[in-house]
Amino acid sequence: MIQRDAVEYRLIFPSYQPFLFIYLENFHCKRPTRGSLHLFNSSPQSRYRYSCRNWKTRSLATCVSQSDSHFAVYMSDTVPKTYVDLASQLADVAGSILRRHFRKTNRFLVKSDQSPVTVADREVERTLRALLKQSCPQHDILGEEEGSEILTSLHLETCSEYTWVIDPIDGTKAFMTGKPTFGTLIALLERGIPVLGVIDQPIIGERWLGARGYGTFYNGTPISSTIQNEASTQDKLGHCVLYATSPDMFHNEMLDAFKRLSKRVQYTLYGCDCYAYALLANGFVDLVAEADLKPWDYLALVPVIENAGRFITDWNGNSLTLSSYSGCVLAARTKTLHQQALEVLNMQVSSDFSHREKTCVQSMTGFSRAQSFGKYSLVTVDLRSQNARFLDICGTLPPMLEILESKIHNLLKGFLSRGKIHYSVSISASEDSLPISLMENSVKDVKLILERIAQILKVETPIDLSHVLQFRDLLIRSKENLIQKNSEEELWPYIEEAFHKAIYALKEVQRQEGERLVADMETRIELLRGWLDEIDQYAPTRIVQQKRRMKQRIEDCLEGNHAIDESRLDQELALLADRIDITEETVRFRSHLNFFTESLKMSSQVGRRLNFICQEWLREANTITAKCADSYISMRAILIKEEVERIREQVQNIL
């Protein structure tokens, strides 16, 4: 947040509390051409000064570095024209070298990271480095061939205001095999933020240049005036073309995520390197998703794509800067496609389920519904779950999808382990995507009617197509043959997605129901503990009562003629006390209560275990009733059994 207070600007960063103020000197005019920033932190001895040119007071921006004690500030809205011209000159020089080497030899060396490098790579980088050191000696340079040596020390707080990033040949494999889909990438960073980028294809003679404050140009012409900003009116993944350099660049979780995205799009193509991003800037490509990229592979792409009105981030939706170390890049033609692709890439159903299953008790009852948009249709999946001893799956499918029944069962078995599961799948037409049909009979009828009208009116004007098309309903969106346009193989990715969403929603419903069941059972367990406490408090008084009662009966039988043998009476009382002692039963009952409570926190799939514990509770309560020989304890034991039965009914619904 920025608040103006005379010549003082206060910048409030919640996560960077040590920084207090930034003072702007020479702020007495509306459009100062130079300003000085004084950055203060909590240490009075630490003070950093940055000079900024070409800035506007309304466009203060910040870039926080990795260090907790430094951050950089830039204020320029437009890249200096001299740097834009310099970038074009660098691309011209690189192009002349590459054209001289292209298809002349296929010899190459292998670097330490097993990537190839050619003589042309090294010659281009050496030449461009020499030109930059001559033109901009104060700027830093980061290149692919020498970048690894300085990348570790090139941080935002230590680097100069501007850094040039060079990739002499992005797509070396394409270059050395004679395929003109490679490109030279040149980027200019301001405080680690890419503000200027060039994608140059010297063989075909195509160049894309994007710069902050200028826009993106294709061969010198603004892209917005030559290419339609929207290549398609429908922003759906099912209609998209996805590009990636190679499927080998994805590993482990990234490979799974890319496969999910690939299943959702219409076509997946490989092998264009940076050229795919250039085509995306023009609007011919919808999506590009790649991984295992280095800074010189993607920094030049950012200004070209963003200034063309497209979108590019990492797979988490974060902006790409010099400090981006994930190596995963996602570029999209529109914001809608970008958001949809991010959701698919970050869909982690199984791991999320696994985490929840380890921490939450789930009910076996629940209902959910989910939808997925296919190319021509809308897929709707309903899931209903009821309690059962084992996993029992059944469902209803449209006739043309019955071949997918085994796939669906296997999918459900991967996430559900118990209960009676009923599913239903329905395919409905998506009105905007329905195929257009021609009413041929109506067209013929219209022609005959027009000819008849001409005869009646004695008009000799010939009937042409424009007359016929004035009649409505000759072209309709037909639902006929819709299923034939979607084979089961084409529909399966959308059905699978809908099932994943439905399973996730069902698990969430079961988790919420499980929380309510646990709360109810914990309340009832406290009742059981209270009745056990009452039994434990009352139990010791029974021996005294039994001795008094037994002594009274003996005296009544002897009628005062004989004295009572106290030692014999105590012996009998000891035997009686052993028979009516319920200490063992109450201790075991409390142990089962503790085990029941612990089981609720250990795992979600504890239904069977809890049911067995309830059986043990009933066994102990029956034993207490049989041994107590006391009405008070018998009443408490009956209340315990009644409450245990209520808990047992709830346990029948727990997974």
- Binding site membership for Mg(2+): which residues? 144, 167, 169-170, 297
Dist. CA 80–CA 61, nearest whole Å: 17
Structure tokens at 190: 């301001």
Compute CA 409 distance to the chain's CA centroid, rounded to the nearest angstrom: 25
Tokens of 553: 């009966």
What letter would DSSP give residue 76?
A: B
Residue whose C-alpha is closest to residue 231's, from 283, 267, 176? 283
Quote the CA–CA distance of 337 and 265 in Å, as a whole number.
Answer: 11
Q: What is the Cα gyration radius of the chain? A: 39
Placement of tokens 């100069």 in the chain: 160
CA pair distance 391, 500, nearest whole angstrom: 18
Instruction: Check if the beta carbon of residue 298 is closer than 8 Å to that of residue 320.
Output: yes
Find all residues with CB under 8 Å of 224, minimum gap 6, and list them.
215, 308, 309
For residue 599, with 0-12 CB atoms within 10 Å meaning exposed, 13-18 middle and 19 or more buried, which class applies?
middle
DSSP classification of residue 525: H
Contact 47/38 with Cβ under 8 angstroms? Answer: yes
Annotated binding site: 144, 167, 169-170, 297
Return d(Cα 411, Cα 640) in angstroms, integer: 43
Helix 631-651 vs helix 488-538: crossing angle, to nearest 10? 170
Question: Residue 364 in contact with residue 481, Cβ under 8 Å?
Answer: no
What DSSP string runs through 573-612?
A: HHHHHHHH--HHHHHHHHHHHHHHHHHHHH-S--HHHHHH
If residue 316 lies in a helix (H) or strand (E), which one and from where to where? none
**Amino acid in position 331:** A
Distance CA 38, CA 76 (A): 17
What is the spatial distance between Cα 530 and Cα 538, in angstroms, rounded to a whole number?
A: 13
Encoded amino acid at 197, one letter: G
Residue 647's nearest CA partner among 588, 590, 596, 585 is 596
* Euclidean distance between CA atoms 471 and 445, whole angstroms: 11
Is the Cβ–Cβ distance between 366 and 513 less than 8 Å? yes
Give the SS3 label for residue 112: coil
Distance CA 375, CA 435 (A): 11
Calculate the alpha carbon distances from 334 to 257, 405, 522 in Å.
Answer: 20, 36, 51
Query: β-strands 419-429, 391-396: how paired?
Result: parallel
